[in-house]
Amino acid sequence: MLPATPPNFKPVGKVRWARLALGPPPFATSRRVTGRRLQGVRYERKVQDHLLTSFPDKYVPSPWLYFSDENGVHWRQPDGLLIDTRGGKIIIVEVKYQHTTDAWWQMRRLYLPILEAIFPTALWDYKMLEVVKWFDGTVGWPEPVRLLAHPLDALTIPGNATGVHIWTP
């Protein structure tokens, strides 16, 4: 059963075309965050540094995706991609301070359809990985969750599962 759609979440429609952008969209600006959001932003920055240091030849932090669906042209930015070119696998990485179904919606209903238009499923296999500081097993999840000791363990999970890696700096 699907978890409730997060407020203000709009899943991607049928993707007409998509590509990786070489840089941010012209309207992208940084905005000041405070409180709990700031805590999440700081955690994500540490995770990004950790993954980039650990996998410099495999990890793409915060790539911009440019695409068109029936609602127009859009930009989206997953937290990261771990790309195994030899194995033909792409791990969509979503970083959250604490485990939340928002990550499932973002990975499965937002980033996956766009990436499948760029990297076709005939050539690439997709895996999902949520990196969290806090994990709560009571959070409802629409598919099996596998706790992973290492981010690259996501390469071995079934396609209908999500890997969760708990990382504390």
Q: What top-level class would CATH report for the domain 17-22+39-166?
A: alpha beta
Q: Is the predicted pLDDT of residue 33 greater than 80, yes or no?
A: no
Strand-pair partners of 83: 90
Q: Is the predicted pLDDT of residue 1 greater than 70, yes or no?
A: no
Average model confidence (pLDDT) across the chain: 93
For 41-72, write each residue's pLDDT tens digit.
Answer: 899 999 999 999 999 999 999 999 999 999 99
Task: Kindly give, in sequence order, each residue whose CB lies less than 8 Å from that of residue 35, ignoring residues fewer than 6 positions away.
Answer: none
Q: Is the predicted pLDDT of residue 28 greater than 90, yes or no?
A: no
For 96-140, write each residue's pLDDT tens digit.
Answer: 999 999 999 999 999 999 999 999 999 999 999 999 999 999 998
Give residue 145's pLDDT: 96
> What does the domain layout of the chain look like in residue ranges?
17-22+39-166
Q: Is the predicted pLDDT of residue 11 greater than 70, yes or no?
A: yes
Helix (DSSP H) and strand (DSSP E) numbers for the chain: 3, 9
β-bridge pairing 145-148 and 89-98? unpaired
For 70-106, write each residue's pLDDT tens digit.
Answer: 999 999 999 999 999 999 999 999 999 999 999 999 9
